[in-house]
Amino acid sequence: MSGRWIVGITGASGSIYGVKLVRYLLEAGMDVHLVVTDAGWRVLHDELGWSVSRRTEVLEEQFGFARSRLIYHSNADIGASIASGSFRTDGMVVLPCSMGTLSGIAHGASGNLLERAADVILKENRPLLLVPRETPLSVIHLENMLKLAKLGVAMIPAMPAFYQKPASLEELTDFMVGRVLDSMKIEHHLYRRWGEP
């Protein structure tokens, strides 16, 4: 399977979702352009124990099996390839997506590389998928999500299902990442679908 996707990880809880998606895409033979916000690194540290001061080494430890297909971009690098519409990708996923990042995308702020890459995806009419992770939601959050949904952005809230009777945190994570892959139109077998044996 070939392809080229941008994946953003922001400062919302649920960083394991983004890590699992990156790993799945790389294992499937795809190229991944990864952007992690500073708050995203903080959550990776708090939730998964990743070292913020050893970013390059940590990425090598986690994804070194596909080092030629993982391209990491600093969120401050506005001149990166993914900041230009002439750079072809299949789309972009922000997983998890903080409400601050969602707001920046909804208003075209382009204040950092992640927001700029999302802006490029929108203007080039490529798939943009956001996985917001916040509760409860304010009217501001809902209005920003509605604005983006009207523009064709896929909103996939981090709401795992329980009908498959998950026995572990990993199975809950697999379900959520599987739902994202469904929206990306990428085949997988991460969870048992309703009606399947």
pLDDT digits (tens, 9 = 90+) for 14-56: 999 999 999 999 999 999 999 999 999 999 999 999 999 999 9
**192: pLDDT strictly greater than 90:** no
Q: What residues have CB less than 8 Å from 77, skipping those under 6 apart?
A: 83, 113
Q: What is the mean pLDDT of residues 94-111?
A: 98
How far from 164 is each of 81, 192, 196, CA to CA, in Å? 40, 6, 10
- CA-wise closest residue to 129 among 104, 156, 169, 158: 156
pLDDT for 112: 98
- For CA atoms 185, 187, 192, 194, the dihedral sign is positive
pLDDT band at 1; cut points 50, 70, 90: low
- Phi and psi for 122 in degrees, rounded to 5? -65, -45
Q: What is the mean pLDDT of residues 96-117?
A: 98
Q: What is the mean pLDDT of residues 166-189?
A: 96
Q: What is the mean pLDDT of residues 131-135?
A: 96
Q: What residues have CB less than 8 Å from 160, skipping those under 6 apart?
A: 166, 172, 173, 175, 176
Question: Which domains, from first to last, does the chain contain?
Answer: 4-183 (3.40.50.1950)
Which tokens is 96 given?
């998890």
- pTM of the full predicted structure? 0.96
